[in-house]
Amino acid sequence: MSEPGLEYGYCQKYNKKIPLDENTVCVHPHEYCRFRPSCLIHELGKQNRLRQRQQKEKIGGTLYAIGVGPGDPRMITLQAIDRLRSLEMVFASKKEGVSESIAYTIAEKYLPASSQVQFLEFKATYDRDEFDAIWAENAKKVFEVLKTGQDCGYITLGDPSLYSTFSHLLRNLTKLSPGVRVEIIPGVTMVTAASNLLNVPLAIDGESLTLIPSAQIDEAQLRPLIRHSDNLVFMKIPSDAQMLIKNLEEEGLLHRAIWVQKCCLPDQRVMKELDKKTLEEDQERYLSMMIVKKEGMS
């Protein structure tokens, strides 16, 4: 028992002192308790649950994360198109120093003429705190719109669940508002678009497949991944890809690698039977990935 105005209440059933605040709930709300009718903790818990539900309901807008596929206009889903047609406000990320947002270019033609776009800038930094701070700011911008009750979209290349900035946005948005409503619309990934373009099955039978964010791992991490997987997909290839090239060559796999650049875009490029010299001379790495299949391909 406790008196109104006190900082703590006392659970008589479990003999516990419980802080009284906006998070207070009954110690065991689903169990029978003979003290319940007169228990302040239980009463406060009911009020807290009601307030949290009302807060959730107040967040009127839904955020739609829309995967727009790899860039070929025929590879966007009907669900994505339907949703884009309904949105008056969309967000898209834009890397610092890059003038275009390919994802927005794909989506633009489906949006109502009256719709607005806001680009969320980010910096490709390995400083985790700096990166989180950028996405915390971006999440605030999206939350400002959702708070008004307006639905909005977040457009992302490929699929929202694969190395997408959407994950950073969602993590921060959930911190701001745990009850935020989100719907995710899947897209064709770069990985499947490239493998199908090349007629290369990503994995068959008992084979394993490993996706490697090349720019974000070091040599010690890379070696075992290369050795122990049957199929490898290298994404996020850094401008200085020396370490990657060296390791593939040392493992006798470089000649098996297929390099795909700007897949599904008008200036798509495919390079096969790679060697070190060609890759060292050809420094064009923007929107590139590599597929290496150890078996089954000549």
Residues 6 or more apart in contact with residue 171 via CB below 8 angstroms:
135
The interface region with ligand SAM, picked from 118-126, 147-155, 196-204, 263-271 by CB under 6 A, is: 263-271
Which of 2, 20, 27, 147 lies at the binding interface for ligand SF4 (CB under 6 A)?
A: 27
Contact 194, 260 (CB under 8 A): yes
DSSP single-letter state for residue 120: E
DSSP H helices, the chain, are: 40-58, 78-85, 102-108, 128-147, 165-176, 190-197, 219-228, 242-250, 276-281
| Using rule CB under 6 A, residue 26 touches ligand SF4 | yes
| Using rule CB under 6 A, residue 71 touches ligand SAM | yes
Residue 212 interface partner, choices ligand SF4, ligand SAM, none, CB cut-off 5-8 Å depending on type: none
| Using rule CB under 6 A, residue 33 touches ligand SF4 | yes
Which of 190, 232, 258, 279 lies at the binding interface for ligand SAM (CB under 6 A)?
A: 190
Of 26 and 102, which has the nearer Cβ to ligand SF4?
Answer: 26
The total number of residues written for the chain in this structure? 298
- The type of residue at 62 is T
The token pair that represents 259 in the structure block: 């390099």
What's the distance, CA 167 to chain centroid?
Answer: 3
The interface region with ligand SAM, picked from 87-95, 133-141, 221-229, 281-289 by CB under 6 A, is: 281-289
Residue 11 to residues 7, 49, 271, Cα–Cα distance (Å): 13, 18, 70
The token pair that represents 281 in the structure block: 């001379």
Min CB(247)–ligand SAM separation in Å: 17
The interface region with ligand SF4, picked from 32-40, 67-75, 186-194, 263-271 by CB under 6 A, is: 32-40
| Using rule CB under 6 A, residue 158 touches ligand SAM | yes
Question: Which residues of this chain interact with ligand SAM, rule CB under 6 A?
Answer: 70-71, 156-159, 162-164, 189-191, 194, 235-237, 260-265, 287-289
